[in-house]
């Protein structure tokens, strides 16, 4: 187990270097960030040269990349276009996105597993078909459509929630965007649970449990659900990273000043430190989540061993 | 059966709980309704909030609220009136003596003195401070020493020799050459005074800027919001009529529009294009749409022989007359652009140099004459032209295609003109400033201050800082120089207009339309207007029952 973890951690190094370099090159390829600062006006060459020198843009790309990586390892992520340190932006953005992710995650887990269980137990009946139809619908509609629709109806027409998230992203305001963000994953969780439940409800151990005369509630929760959740937990684990990174659209629609918003601003203003910095952290989160899930396998299913 | 029921219970309970919390959040009111504070839309400023480093609207808005300059522009007429200055006098149009009003104070209680201005201007001009608006000080004697034009050259002085403090309330300015309308520039926020704290605690200043204007910043959380309240030390004429302004940064103007309709936002001056067609009815008429100090043009690359050959002026004029501006502004821009009939902007007013007939028929859609002119001039070079634009912002593709269609229809050739997109704005600008454009391209100009000079000198003078079309006409340069030296403003304006007239003969650019400023507001506020810069006039906004 220990050796496995070390090997996995070592594998992360090339992935990390590769992604940061790719992002760095891509942001660089977008064009000259200094020219964009001057708007419709021709940049004053002396001022532009000063800014370039300050941003280390007067060096060749590989040197810039090395310089940047060197800074990262000393905890310096550079400065955003507004002169704010990127670490400060991260300090503001990540907690907000994390909160949104957790809200979405809770909705996804509770509603998804609930619906899946309902459908799996009522296989072939009306409840099952309606869950299937519902999830199909949710998967088929793009996030920004559900986002704007819910914002318009729930937020504006019926006035049930604020159409935009207020200052500091209070938890109550995050529920509507949480539902939108959770949507697609929720459908997957529901379907995964349904299949798993449907399969396990014919398993021998379940028949034994019923034959033993255990109460139905105990059979379902302890025997059926627990065993059916192994694939679902795997999916939920990897999805945390996905939710954080996938919040760009949802954050924009609901005015959430999180990671997605900062990334968008960084790209718009062609500010490499912002984009590369945030993506680097996202990559790390994703890698860590993946490793955690792989380790969880062994915990959930004793038959799996890592060497 | 019991198990299924319990599963349903779980699912049902979850749904009910969610619905309950969702309802709960709905009853929260965002911002008190009786605090008399205007909640206004804001975009995150691109640069740190320093007067000489802010060259875009969102930062400019704030500077406008927290600074009072020597002169300020009247929100209605755009005329420059003395505010912080008691008098600005000159005998030779080159040496100016500026006297400040007594007892002016910054919002932190420190006095506004002559050196508040002189130090601020010297800071803005010094090349090592990397201020984007440094070139505004280029007319002041000694600018070359603090801001050498050559890339990488070190400044030989820290202060401009043309600025001299006489006493606490007086300073003198020596310009490099005669420039009679120079004092009217001083309303531009790059010329704002700065308090001592700007130089002693720069980082602290950027966290909470301090000025001498109608409002004072109470809190600023970068990228999210800024709260301003009336500045108790402000003695100028535009005292706020509300108890403060809360600027809220939105990630998307569609979201802001939804929030405006839901009553969580009071003023929105960036109505998304998708909502324009129904904004007026959505908002019950609480909507304004008026020309702003922004003109959109198509520039010709006159550094390319093909477009600068003899006779091409006729082709360029013909192309201008081949564009159906009225239809395009109505259909594509839902009338949020106003067809241009000069190269300035209606915000200047007739006395400021705007003229609706200066172009003659050069901007009138006239297919027959257009075709004739283009043919007389030898036709489009190579029989085919493109119009360059950047694809990453604005709806440039739509109007460029429409302009091309208009030209193609006139010429009866649907391959004569097509759009040529460039991926990003930065790349697009890069090609233009390097003079690499071989075909016409879109260009725009947002005025810095409401003076006709700002629409002409930087764009068409031979050494103009933004002369993208590489236009050069000694006659034009001479008229501008003469106008700059003319002490009488009215006469100077006439001279500028004579220079502008030359542009309609040479046609280095095609004037297309003026961009309009729009704003929508909630029923909670009244008296929402916009000034010449398309900023809402925040000081005039009143909160109903507030």
Domain locations in chain A as residue ranges = 2-73, 87-300
B264 Cβ under 8 Å from any chain A Cβ: yes
Say whether both B436 and B325 belong to one domain: yes
User: What predicted TM-score, i.e. pTM, was given to this entire model?
Assistant: 0.82
In a domain, B469, yes or no: yes
Two tokens, residue A138: 């949710």
> Which chain A residues touch B446 with a CB distance below 8 Å?
39-40
B277 Cβ under 8 Å from any chain A Cβ: no
The residue among A44, A49, A151 with the most chain B CBs within 10 A of its CB, best to mutate, is A44
- Whether the predicted pLDDT of B28 surpasses 70: no
Residues of B (73-132) whose Cβ lies below 8 Å from A: 127-128, 130-132
- Residue B122, pLDDT score: 95
CA atoms within 13 A on the CB side of B271: 26
> What does DSSP assign to residue A28?
H
Two tokens, residue B296: 């959109």
Residue B304: φ, ψ to 5°: -95, 130
Start-end of H helices in B466-531 = 474-485, 489-506
In a domain, B21, yes or no: no
With helix as H, strand as E and coil as C, how does B415-451 read?
A: CCEEEEEECCHHHHHHHHHCCCCCCCEEEEEECCCCC
> What does DSSP assign to residue A214?
-
- Whether the predicted pLDDT of B404 surpasses 90: yes
State the Cα angle at B212 between B208 and B218, rounded to 5°: 30
Q: Among A110-114, A237-241, B410-414, B517-521, where is mean pLDDT lowest?
A: A237-241
Q: CB atoms < 10 A from the CB of B7, how many?
A: 26
Q: Strand pairing partners for B246?
A: B39, B227
Two tokens, residue B363: 């901007």
Q: Are B216 and B239 in contact (CB under 8 A)?
A: no
CB-closest option in B256, B261, B466 to A41: B466
Chain A closest CA to B131's CA: distance in Å? 7
Q: Do B6 and A220 touch (CB under 8 A)?
A: yes
- Residue A30, pLDDT score: 66
Q: H/E element holding B509?
A: strand B509-521
Residue A281: φ, ψ to 5°: -65, -40
Q: Are B535 and B66 in contact (CB under 8 A)?
A: no
CA–CA separation, B61 vs B38, rounded Å?
Answer: 14
In a domain, B31, yes or no: no
B148 Cβ under 8 Å from any chain A Cβ: yes
B56 Cβ under 8 Å from any chain A Cβ: yes
CA–CA separation, A43 vs A39, rounded Å?
Answer: 8
CA–CA separation, A163 vs A155, rounded Å?
Answer: 4
CA–CA separation, B260 vs A163, rounded Å?
Answer: 10
Q: Do A114 and B131 touch (CB under 8 A)?
A: no
CA–CA separation, B455 vs B211, rounded Å?
Answer: 29
Say whether both B88 and B190 belong to one domain: yes
Q: Are A147 and A73 in contact (CB under 8 A)?
A: no
> Which chain B residues touch A107 with a CB distance below 8 Å?
18
Contacts of B216 (CB under 8 A, 6+ apart): B66, B107, B210, B228, B229, B230, B231, B232
Give helix B367-376 / helix B312-321 axis angle, nearest 10°: 160
Q: Which residue of A has its CA nearest to B49?
A: A82
Interval B197-207: pLDDT, tens: 999 999 999 99
> Which chain A residues touch B430 with a CB distance below 8 Å?
31-32, 35
In a domain, B22, yes or no: no
Give me the tens of pLDDT residue by residue for chain A, a chain 307 residues long.
Answer: 788 888 888 888 898 888 888 888 887 776 677 777 777 677 778 888 888 888 788 888 888 888 888 888 888 888 887 778 888 889 888 899 989 999 999 999 999 999 999 999 888 899 899 999 999 998 898 888 888 898 888 888 887 888 888 777 788 888 899 999 998 889 999 999 999 999 888 889 889 999 999 998 888 888 888 888 888 888 888 888 778 877 888 888 898 888 888 888 888 777 778 888 888 888 888 888 888 888 877 777 777 776 6
Q: What is the ipTM of this complex?
A: 0.81
Say whether both B168 and B310 belong to one domain: no
Q: Strand pairing partners for B72?
A: B81
> Which chain B residues touch A46 with a CB distance below 8 Å?
127, 147-153
Q: Are B532 and B313 in contact (CB under 8 A)?
A: no
- Residue B23, pLDDT score: 37
> Which chain A residues touch B135 with a CB distance below 8 Å?
44
> Which chain A residues touch B152 with a CB distance below 8 Å?
46, 49
Interval B485-512: pLDDT, tens: 888 888 999 999 999 999 999 999 999 9
Chain B closest CA to A165's CA: distance in Å? 9
CA–CA separation, B446 vs A288, rounded Å?
Answer: 48
In a domain, B540, yes or no: no
Interval B243-302: pLDDT, tens: 999 999 998 888 899 999 988 999 998 888 778 888 888 898 899 988 888 999 999 999
Q: Are A172 and B24 in contact (CB under 8 A)?
A: yes
Considering B204, B233, B261, which residue would you say is the last residue of a domain?
Answer: B204
Chain A closest CA to B6's CA: distance in Å? 7
- Residue A59, pLDDT score: 83
Q: Are B50 and A36 in contact (CB under 8 A)?
A: no
B475 Cβ under 8 Å from any chain A Cβ: no
Q: Do A163 and B262 touch (CB under 8 A)?
A: yes
Check which CATH number belongs to the domain holding B414 and give it. 3.10.105.10
- Residue B223, pLDDT score: 84
Q: Do A121 and B148 touch (CB under 8 A)?
A: no
CA–CA separation, B18 vs B10, rounded Å?
Answer: 12
Candidates B361, B362, B357, B354; CA nearest to B293 is B354
CB-closest option in A82, A115, A221 to B48: A82
Q: What percent of chain B has pLDDT over 70?
A: 93
Q: Strand pairing partners for B536?
A: B530
Q: Which residue of A has its CA nearest to B135?
A: A44
The parent domain of residue B337 ranges over 291-516
DSSP characters for B135-188?
GGGTTBTTHHHHS-SSTTPPPS-SS-TTEEEEETTEEEEEBSS--TTGGGGGGS
- Residue A144, pLDDT score: 86
In a domain, B219, yes or no: no
Q: Are B174 and B160 in contact (CB under 8 A)?
A: no
The yes or no reply on domain A87-300 and CATH 1.10.3720.10 is yes
Q: Are B53 and A38 in contact (CB under 8 A)?
A: no
Say whether both B327 and B476 belong to one domain: yes
The residue among A161, A183, A194, A258 with the most chain B CBs within 10 A of its CB, best to mutate, is A161
B48 Cβ under 8 Å from any chain A Cβ: yes
Say whether both B313 and B456 belong to one domain: yes
In a domain, B267, yes or no: no
Say whether both B302 and B171 belong to one domain: no
pLDDT tier for residue B31 given thresholds of 50, 70 and 90: very low
- Residue A307, pLDDT score: 60
Pair type for strands B245-249 and B215-221:
unpaired
Q: Which residue of A has its CA nearest to B223?
A: A257
Chain B closest CA to A302's CA: distance in Å? 27
CA–CA separation, B62 vs B216, rounded Å?
Answer: 10
Q: Do B3 and A216 touch (CB under 8 A)?
A: yes
B134 Cβ under 8 Å from any chain A Cβ: yes
Residues of A (45-64) whose Cβ lies below 8 Å from B: 45-51, 54
Q: Which residue of A has its CA nearest to B134?
A: A47
Two tokens, residue A104: 């979405």
In a domain, B194, yes or no: yes
| Radius of gyration, alpha carbons of chain A | 24
Check which CATH number belongs to the domain holding B142 and give it. 3.90.76.10
With helix as H, strand as E and coil as C, how does B339-377 read?
A: ECCCCCCHHHHHHHCCCCCCCCCCCCCCHHHHHHHHHHC
DSSP characters for B461-481?
STT-TT-TT----HHHHHHHH
Q: How many CB pairs under 8 A join A and B?
A: 222
**How many helices (H) and strands (E) in chain A?**
14, 0
A29 Cβ under 8 Å from any chain B Cβ: no
Would you mind telling me the total number of residues written for chain B in this entry? 546
Q: Which residue of A has its CA nearest to B138?
A: A44
Residue B87: φ, ψ to 5°: -160, 150
Considering B153, B170, B204, which residue would you say is the last residue of a domain?
Answer: B204
Residue B322: φ, ψ to 5°: -90, 0
Q: Do A111 and B18 touch (CB under 8 A)?
A: yes
Residues of A (85-104) whose Cβ lies below 8 Å from B: 89, 92
Q: CB atoms < 10 A from the CB of B541, how many?
A: 21
> Which chain B residues touch A51 with a CB distance below 8 Å?
130
Give helix A226-245 / helix A272-300 axis angle, nearest 10°: 170
Chain B closest CA to A243's CA: distance in Å? 19
Count of domains observed in chain B: 2
| Radius of gyration, alpha carbons of chain B | 26
CB-closest option in A30, A31, A152 to B258: A152
Q: Do A36 and B22 touch (CB under 8 A)?
A: no
Interval B212-246: pLDDT, tens: 999 999 999 888 899 999 999 999 999 999 999 99
CA atoms within 13 A on the CB side of B108: 11
pLDDT tier for residue B33 given thresholds of 50, 70 and 90: low
pLDDT tier for residue B347 given thresholds of 50, 70 and 90: confident
CA–CA separation, B452 vs B246, rounded Å?
Answer: 34
A83 Cβ under 8 Å from any chain B Cβ: yes
- Residue B22, pLDDT score: 38
Burial of B245 (0-12, 13-18, 19+ CB in 10 A): buried
Q: b or e along A201-230 (b: 16 or more beta carbons within 10 Å of the residue's beta carbon)?
A: beeeebeebeeeeeeeeebbbebbbebbbe
Q: Do B2 and A216 touch (CB under 8 A)?
A: yes
Q: Are A119 and A125 in contact (CB under 8 A)?
A: no
Q: Are B78 and B450 in contact (CB under 8 A)?
A: yes
Chain B closest CA to A185's CA: distance in Å? 17
B537 Cβ under 8 Å from any chain A Cβ: no
State the Cα angle at B28 between B27 and B32, rounded to 5°: 125
């Amino acid at each position: 187990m220990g050796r496995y973890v070390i090997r996995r951690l070592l594998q992360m190094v090339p992935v990390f270097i590769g992604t940061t370099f790719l992002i760095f090159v891509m942001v660089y390829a977008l064009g000259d960030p200094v020219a964009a600062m001057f708007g419709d006006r021709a940049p004053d060459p002396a001022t532009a040269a000063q800014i370039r020198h300050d941003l280390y843009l007067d060096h060749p790309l590989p040197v810039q990349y090395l310089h940047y990586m060197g800074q990262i390892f000393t905890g310096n992520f550079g400065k955003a276009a507004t002169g704010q340190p990127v670490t400060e932006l991260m300090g503001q953005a990540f907690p907000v996105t994390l909160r949104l992710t957790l809200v979405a995650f809770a909705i996804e887990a509770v509603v998804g597993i609930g619906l899946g269980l309902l459908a799996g137990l009522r296989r072939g009946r009306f409840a099952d078909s309606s869950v299937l139809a519902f999830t199909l619908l949710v998967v088929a509609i793009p996030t920004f459509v559900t986002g704007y629709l819910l914002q318009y109806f729930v937020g504006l027409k019926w006035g049930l929630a604020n159409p935009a998230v207020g200052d500091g992203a209070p938890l109550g305001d995050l529920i509507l965007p949480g539902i939108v963000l959770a949507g697609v994953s929720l459908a997957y969780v529901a379907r995964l649970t349904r299949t798993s439940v449907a399969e396990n409800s014919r398993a021998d151990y379940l028949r034994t449990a019923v034959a033993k005369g255990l109460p139905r509630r105990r059979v379902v929760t302890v025997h059926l659900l627990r065993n059916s959740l192994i694939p679902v937990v795997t999916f939920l684990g990897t999805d945390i990273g996905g939710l954080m990174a996938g919040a760009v659209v949802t954050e924009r629609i609901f005015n959430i000043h999180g990671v997605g918003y900062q990334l968008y601003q960084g790209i718009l203003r062609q500010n490499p430190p912002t984009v590369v910095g945030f993506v680097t952290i996202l990559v790390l989160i994703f890698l860590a989540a993946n490793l955690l899930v792989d380790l969880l396998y062994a915990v959930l299913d004793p038959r799996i061993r890592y060497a | 059966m019991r198990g299924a029921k319990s599963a349903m219970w779980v699912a049902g309970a979850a749904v009910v709980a969610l619905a309950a919390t969702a309802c709960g959040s709905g009853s929260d009111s965002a911002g008190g309704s009786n605090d008399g504070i205007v909640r206004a839309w804001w975009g995150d400023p691109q640069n740190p909030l320093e007067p000489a480093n802010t060259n875009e609207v969102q930062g400019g808005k704030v500077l406008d609220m927290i600074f009072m300059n020597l002169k300020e522009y009247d929100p209605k007429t755009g005329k420059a009136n003395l505010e912080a200055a008691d008098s600005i006098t000159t005998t030779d149009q080159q040496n100016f003596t500026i006297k400040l009003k007594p007892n002016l104070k910054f919002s932190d209680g420190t006095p506004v003195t002559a050196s508040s201005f002189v130090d601020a201007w010297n800071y803005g001009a010094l090349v090592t401070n990397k201020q984007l608006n440094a070139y505004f000080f280029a007319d002041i004697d000694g600018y070359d020493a603090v801001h050498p034009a050559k890339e990488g050259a070190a400044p030989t002085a820290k202060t401009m020799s043309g600025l001299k403090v006489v006493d606490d309330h007086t300073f003198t300015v020596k310009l490099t050459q005669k420039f009679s309308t120079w004092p009217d520039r001083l309303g531009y926020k790059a010329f704002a005074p700065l308090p001592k704290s700007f130089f002693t605690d720069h980082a602290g200043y950027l966290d909470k800027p301090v000025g001498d204007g109608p409002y004072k910043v109470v809190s600023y959380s970068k990228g999210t919001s800024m709260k301003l309240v009336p500045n108790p030390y402000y003695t100028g004429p535009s005292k706020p009529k509300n108890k403060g302004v809360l600027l809220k940064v939105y990630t998307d103007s569609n979201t802001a529009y939804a929030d405006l309709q839901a009553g969580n936002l009071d003023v929105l001056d960036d109505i998304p294009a998708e909502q324009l067609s129904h904004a007026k009815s959505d908002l019950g008429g609480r909507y304004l749409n008026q020309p702003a100090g922004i003109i959109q043009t198509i520039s010709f690359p006159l550094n390319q022989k093909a477009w600068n050959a003899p006779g091409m002026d006729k082709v360029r004029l013909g192309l201008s007359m081949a564009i159906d501006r009225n239809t395009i502004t109505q259909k594509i821009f839902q009338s949020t652009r106003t067809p241009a009939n000069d190269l300035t902007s209606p915000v200047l007013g007739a006395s400021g140099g705007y003229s609706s007939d200066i172009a003659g028929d050069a901007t009138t859609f006239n297919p027959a004459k257009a075709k004739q002119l283009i043919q007389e001039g030898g036709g489009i070079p190579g029989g085919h032209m493109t119009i360059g634009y950047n694809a990453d912002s604005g709806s440039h593709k739509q109007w460029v295609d429409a302009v091309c269609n208009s030209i193609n229809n006139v010429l009866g050739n649907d391959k004569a003109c097509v759009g040529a997109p460039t991926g990003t704005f930065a790349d697009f600008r890069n090609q233009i400033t390097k003079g690499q454009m071989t075909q016409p391209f879109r260009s725009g100009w947002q005025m810095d201050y409401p003076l006709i000079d700002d629409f002409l000198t930087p764009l068409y003078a031979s050494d103009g800082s933004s002369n993208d079309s590489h236009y050069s006409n000694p006659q034009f340069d001479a008229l501008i120089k003469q106008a700059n030296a003319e002490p009488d403003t009215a006469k100077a304006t006439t001279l500028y207009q004579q220079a502008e007239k030359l542009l309609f003969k040479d046609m280095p650019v095609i004037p297309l339309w003026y961009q309009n400023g729009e704003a929508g507001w909630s029923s909670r506020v009244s008296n929402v207007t916009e000034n010449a810069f398309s900023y809402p006039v925040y000081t005039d906004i009143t909160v109903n029952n507030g």
